[in-house]
Amino acid sequence: MGKIDSFKIGETTAVKYEDASPLPWAGVTARSAAWLRRVNADTFIAFSINCTHLGCPVRWLAEANLFMCPCHGGVYYQDGTVAAGPPPLPLARYPVRVKDGEVQIQTAPIPITKK
């Protein structure tokens, strides 16, 4: 996702990546994004951008410290817990690690809410 120094402590940024082994004709649909938050010097959280209500892409509002969903008005705090609206679960997270100064996330299927 990038060098560890390119992420500031306390900030949440969008990171883009290519899905694992996409079909050759997938084109731009092979791209995905996640919200990456640097909590402190060596802790990161990677959130799925999919709202747990119906999967729409939540947006991070940096000054308000909130994620907001454009579809049905779901709101989440900076740690991904539900602040308001219909989402039944906190934002899903991807495993993150820092290896050789690089931040890496383990991509996963689009989280499908069962609740």
Partner 1 sequence: MFQRIFTRIRDWVDDRTGLPEAVGKMARHLVPPDAKWWYVFGSATLCAFMIQVISGIALAFSYIPSASEAYSTLQFISDQAPFGHFLRGLHYYGASAMVLMVGLHMAQVFLFGSYKFPRELNWATGVLLLGFTLIMGFTGQLLRWDQNAVWSVVVAAEQTGRVPFIGKWLAHFTLGGDTVGGATLTRFFVVHVFIMPGLIFAFVGLHLWLVLRHGISEPPKPGQLVDPKTYRQEYKELIAKRGRPFWPDVAWRDLVFCVAMIVVIAALGLIFGAPQLEKPPDPSIIAASPRPDWYLLWYFGVLALLPHGSEKYFMVFGPLLVGMLLIALPFLSNRGERSPRRRPWAVAAVLMTVVMIATLWVEGANSPWSPNFNAPPLPPSIVGATNGPVFIGAQLFHAKACLNCHLIGDDGGRRGPDLTDVANRLSKNQMILRISNGGVNMPAYAANLAPAEMDALVAFLQSRKIQRR
- Give me the residues that bind partner 1 (CB under 8 A), please: 14, 16-17, 19, 22-33, 49-50, 53-59, 61, 63-66, 68-73, 75, 77, 83-86, 88, 108-110, 112-115
Smallest separation (angstroms) from partner 1 to the CB of 89: 11
Smallest separation (angstroms) from partner 1 to the CB of 40: 17
Smallest separation (angstroms) from partner 1 to the CB of 1: 12
CA dihedral 12, 29, 72, 83 (to 10 degrees): -20
Please report, in angstroms and rounded to a whole number, the separation of the first and last CA atoms in the chain. Answer: 31
Q: How many other C-beta atoms lie within 10 A of the C-beta of residue 82?
A: 18
